Structures are given as C-alpha cells and as structure tokens.
C-alpha cells in the first residue's frame, strides 16, 4: 500500500511540474530538445500509470484472498440432528442459477430447458423489459469537438516579427525619381530624388475568457487542459479572420480584403476562354506588373476550387469536352492544390465566390507584428467569482498587421 501511494504521488508531481513548465510554451515553437523532453516525460508518466495499475491489481487480489480466508474461518453452528433448511430464493435468483441461463451466458447456447421451483406469493401482470428498466450506461470521457476552421493555415503563410512598442512605425518610400541617363563629357548629371512617408500600424489586443467552477477543475482532471487548448484555438481563429477580413475600424486590424490599393477583379466581367483559371492568371500577371513580385499563395473556398478543377470547355468541331485545369498542367509534380505553379490554400476563411491571390511570405509585402504572444491566465478575483468558487481562464494576444505593398495582393469576386 505504501509503495502504491508513493507511485501515485510521483505521478501527480510529474504531471503538475510538466503542466507548470509547459503551460506558457506554444507547442508550435518546440525545438528538438523540448520535443524530446516532452516525449520522455510522457513515457515516464505512462510507465508510472502501468506500475500503479499493476500495484492496484495485486492489492485487489490480496484483499480478495484475505476476504475468502476470513469467510472460511466463520463456521455456522448447526444442531446435530437438525434437518438442513432449504434456502429461500426469489424467482430472479433461481433464474440466475438455472442451467439454461448459465449455458446462454457462458457459451451462448439456447433452447435448454430448466425447471424453476418457485412458489409465487404475488401475481405478475407486467413483463419487465429494458424499456421500463433501462440498464445503466457509463459515459465515455471522450469529447467530440465541433468541426472548425483550421486557424493556423492563414497565419502560417505570413512571416512574424516582434516589437516591444504599442505601435509599429515604418517608412514607406513615396517618392522615387530616377533621372539617371548617359551624360556627355562636361555636362551636368541628372538629379535623382527619394522621399519617405512615416506609416503607423496600431498594435491591437485580441482575447476572450471562459468561466468554470472550482468543482469542475477538481473533479474532472482533464478540464483545465481541454478548456485551455480550445480557448487558444478560438483566439487563433479570430486572428485568422482579422488577417483576411479585418475592417480596420475601431480596434479591428485592417485585413487584406479591406486594404486600400489592392488589385480587384470581378469574374463576372471576365471574357477569356480559359474561364476561372484565366482570371487567376490575370490576377497573377497584375501583381507581377504592379508590385514586381511573384505571388506565393492563392486562398480559395473549397467550393470554388471544385469549380476550377472540374471546369471544361466544349471543343466546337467534335463537341468533346476539354478539361481546362488539367490542360494548365497542374499535376506535373504531385497531386496537391496548385494552379499556374502557385500553391492553392483551400480554406473556408474566404467566402464562396471570393478568392485572394498574393505574396504572403518573405516580409516584403506583409508582416505579422507580435507585441505579445499567446498569454493565458486564471483568476477567481473578478466580481463575485471568489465567493461563488468560479475561476476565469482568459487568453490574449497583442499584434499588428502592416501591409507594406497593397499591389502585391488581388481579390477576385463572383468567382
């Protein structure tokens, strides 16, 4: 028993230390050492759990043996010449002792007749079934999470830098005059000019909280970790939403779709024979012309990607159908979403009918500026939470989204 308690204490201490050391660490930032340390701790905890189960099993068997031994020591006194009394059993007990029930339970055999000797004291009129007496069922500890948009896809396209300021300022070159030219001997050189405009990106806070009772935290050991992970997930979903569609008003970030100066196309006005893939190529070309950059991603709703892949043109001479997507040579390397050599990010972050083409990586057109990474805190000091034993878990992020070169992005509507 002492050994079992020592194992339980060791397991509890290891779990608590692991939670305290890793709770503020973002799992996406794990280096190889952290991953190895995490794996070693999980392996050690698994070994302790197995040892505890084995010790509990041995302890249980020991108690059963002791109980049997104690039972054998109790001898019921009987009169020497007394007749043995037949044990009075209920109908249910006799049924459980019958040969037919035992044969069915142990071997699945049916059609075995057993005679039950029972003197009923009452008349039975209603058959008891599972519909009137439902068996007890233990609920699984599994929680099936609702299907949600992956919040990591869009932010992972963009490089992140950090700041310790409440604003992010940078200079934009707004005047570029190049009068360089071949010049005759003794003649004056042309004068070039550069001028800059200071731009400011506000650092915004994104956060939320979830209240829970102390009883829940105490009685359901996995509740804190589960709520912590889902709260982080929700914050990252909002970050992804802000990157794409932040309105820029009030405390909102200015998302890509609402940035002044990005290229805009309406597919309903496109007249090219290549249809949707032709419109995408026009957007790619416009970015190359205006921003002198090559797009590295296309964000598209799954329904729109389906239209791209399955779209065909009729061949007038024979009436045959020409699949446009395959004709564009998109399966040369591997079967993965891409068009015109640009990876396609299939995501419901954009609405069906809206598509974004842009240069997301490299830090030349856009950045995520992190003032504060994901911060999770717990407290019971808010309002009446202390007297009600309610604990609040909150998560916050502070960040900005400077878009340096709007022409490096294009949006396509009615796609």
For range 181-194, the mean pLDDT: 94
Sheet with 338-339, strands from edge to edge, namely 263-266, 409-413, 355-358, 297-300, 342-346, 338-339
Reading the block at residue 62, the tokens are 């020991």
Q: Which of left, alpha, beta for 10 (phi over 0: left; psi -120 to 50: alpha)?
A: alpha
pLDDT one-digit tens code per residue, 331-377: 555 567 889 989 999 999 999 999 999 999 999 999 999 998 888 88
Distance from the Cα of residue 148 to its chain's centroid: 7
Q: Give the separation between CA 367 and CA 361, rounded to whole angstroms.
A: 8
Pairing of strands 160-162, 368-379: parallel
Q: What does DSSP assign to residue 246? A: -
| Cα-to-chain-centroid distance, residue 248 | 27
Q: Is the pTM of this model over 0.75?
A: no
Residue showing tokens 């990474």: 373
Read off the pLDDT band of 327 (50, 70, 90). Answer: very low
| CATH code, residues 155-180+201-413 | 3.30.2400.10
Per-residue pLDDT band for 110 (boundaries 50, 70, 90) equals: low
Q: Please, what sign has the CA dihedral across residues 267, 271, 277, 279?
A: negative
Contact 325, 277 (CB under 8 A): yes
Percent of the chain with pLDDT over 90: 43
Q: Where residue 329 falls among pLDDT bands split at 50, 70, 90?
A: very low
Tell me the pairing of strands 204-213 and 321-323: unpaired
pLDDT at residue number 328 = 46
Express each pLDDT in 113-144 by its tens digit: 666 665 655 455 667 787 777 888 888 777 88
């Amino acid at each position: 028993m002492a050994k079992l308690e020592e194992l339980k204490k060791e397991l509890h201490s290891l779990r608590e230390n692991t939670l305290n050391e890793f709770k503020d660490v973002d799992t996406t930032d794990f280096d190889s050492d952290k991953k190895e340390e995490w794996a070693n701790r999980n392996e050690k905890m698994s070994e302790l759990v197995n040892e505890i189960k084995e010790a509990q099993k041995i302890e249980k068997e020991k108690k059963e043996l002791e109980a049997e031994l104690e039972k054998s020591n109790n001898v019921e006194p009987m009169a020497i010449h007394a007749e043995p009394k037949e044990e009075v059993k209920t109908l249910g007990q006799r049924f459980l002792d019958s040969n037919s029930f035992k044969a069915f339970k142990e071997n699945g055999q049916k059609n075995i007749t057993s005679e039950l000797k029972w003197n009923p004291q009452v008349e039975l009129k209603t058959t008891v079934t599972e519909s009137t007496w439902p068996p007890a069922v233990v609920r699984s500890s599994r929680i099936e999470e609702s299907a949600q948009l992956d919040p990591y896809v869009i932010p992972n396209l963009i490089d992140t830098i950090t700041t310790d300021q409440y604003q992010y300022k940078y200079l934009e070159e707004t005047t570029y005059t190049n009068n360089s030219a071949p010049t005759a001997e003794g003649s004056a050189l042309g004068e070039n000019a550069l001028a800059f405009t200071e731009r400011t990106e506000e650092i915004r806070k994104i956060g939320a909280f979830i209240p829970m009772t102390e009883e829940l935290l105490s009685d359901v050991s996995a509740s804190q970790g589960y709520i912590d992970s889902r709260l982080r997930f929700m914050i990252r979903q909002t970050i992804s939403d802000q990157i794409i569609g932040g309105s820029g008003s009030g405390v909102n970030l200015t998302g890509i779709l609402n940035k002044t100066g990005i290229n805009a196309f309406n597919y309903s006005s496109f007249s090219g024979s290549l249809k949707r893939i032709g419109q995408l190529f026009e957007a790619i070309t416009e970015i190359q012309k205006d921003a002198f950059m090559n797009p590295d991603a296309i964000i598209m709703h799954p329904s729109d990607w389906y239209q791209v892949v399955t779209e065909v043109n009729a061949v007038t001479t024979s009436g045959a159908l020409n699949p446009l997507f395959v004709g564009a040579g998109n399966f040369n390397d591997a079967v993965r979403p891409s068009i015109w050599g640009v990876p396609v990010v299939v995501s419901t972050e954009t609405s069906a009918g809206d598509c974004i083409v842009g240069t997301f990586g490299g830090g030349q057109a856009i950045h995520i500026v992190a003032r504060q990474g994901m911060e999770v805190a717990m407290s019971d000091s808010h309002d009446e939470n202390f007297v009600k034993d309610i604990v609040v878990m909150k998560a916050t992020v502070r960040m900005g989204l400077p878009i340096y070169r709007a022409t490096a992005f294009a949006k396509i509507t009615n796609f």
